[in-house]
Amino acid sequence: MPVAKTLGVVGSIIAIVQISKTIISLCHFYIDSVDGAPQELRVILIEVSTLKAIAKSLQYLTQPNVANSTLLDQLAAISGPIEGCKKALKELEKLFPPTPTPVSGNGRNSTRRKLDAEIIQHKTTINLALTSELVHDLKDVKQKAEQIQNLLTEDERQQIQRWLVTTNPSGIHNRFQNLYEPGTASWMLRTPEWPLWIEGKHRCLWIHGIPGAGKSILASYLAEKIENYCTASSSGSSKLGHAYYYCYFGHNQDEASHFLRWIIGQLCRQYKDPRGTPENIQIG
């Protein structure tokens, strides 16, 4: 919204607040001190008091850091509720006599009721707009909070995954894959034991051979086939995890804990809900 137009809106809102204060004071005065004050004054007092509070909320919306141009444009149109309120309040103020005399009279009562109805209508429009804006702001805050939560949790997830890795066998795995000769290990896929194991019907697949026979190269080949199988067999609601580890004598260590940490880390990296991963690790 242009600065000049914003200043015009601010001026109209300030005028609504000031006229409302005047009418509220007059209502209090006549209700408390004038005999026969009409009942409509109490209704006007309530409606104008709530309008004043709403106008103060509108003052907040005109601040540069929170201004909503679309909302203010709609409310501040020439035939919009802000100008309508200001006009009705000015006309209502004129109905109060300058001196403390009875304000009754069928003509004035009818006019006051008409103006009060206009004020209620405009006030309701403004209030609905503010409520809609509040709902939008709440949704925006909720969305940003969820984004921040996801970012924080993702950072926690990565920290835990880094903490889990004490021995990384990727280098060994890549080296053996580079040594693989196409077609030399596919025989394993044709054995009766392979489908039973990969489908979960057998828990263990034991492959043995003398040193240098190519067991590690075969393992790197099978690890790739397992990854392909898990990817092809996974769906949106069900995902198969896969992991490998090489127990290497050159590590000169007990591989048990390093093996478990690596397997957990690999499975967590494949887990698609980052918010659940750290909690599951800690519980496990």
Look at the pTM and tell me if it is higher than 0.85.
no
Cβ contacts of 254-262, under 8 Å, gap ≥ 24 = 255/167, 257/166, 258/166, 258/167, 261/164, 261/165, 261/166, 261/167, 262/164, 262/165, 262/166, 262/167, 262/168, 262/169
Residues of the chain with pLDDT > 90, as a percent, come to 20
User: What percentage of the chain carries pLDDT values higher than 70?
Assistant: 81
Q: Provide the mean pLDDT of the chain.
A: 80
Other Cβ atoms within 10 Å of 216 Cβ, number: 16
**CA 51 – CA 57 distance, rounded (Å):** 10
Q: Which structure tokens are listed for 165?
A: 């890795």
H, E, C per residue of 125-139? HHHHHHHHHHHHHHH
The single-letter DSSP state of residue 211 is T
pLDDT tens by residue, 151-202: 767 777 788 788 889 899 999 999 999 999 998 999 999 999 999 999 889 8
Give the pLDDT confidence score for residue 280 in this predicted structure. Answer: 47
What are 204-248's pLDDT values in tens digits? 898 888 888 899 999 999 999 999 999 888 877 778 889 999 988
* pLDDT for res 278: 44
100-108 mean pLDDT:
58
Where residue 80 falls (left for φ over 0; alpha for ψ -120 to 50; beta otherwise) is beta
Q: What is the C-alpha separation between 207 and 227, in angstroms, rounded?
A: 19
Whether residue 94 has pLDDT greater than 70: yes
Give residue limits of the domains in the chain.
3-148, 165-283
Give the integer Cα–Cα distance in Å for 193 and 188: 9
- The closest alpha carbon to 144, from 220, 240, 136, belongs to 136
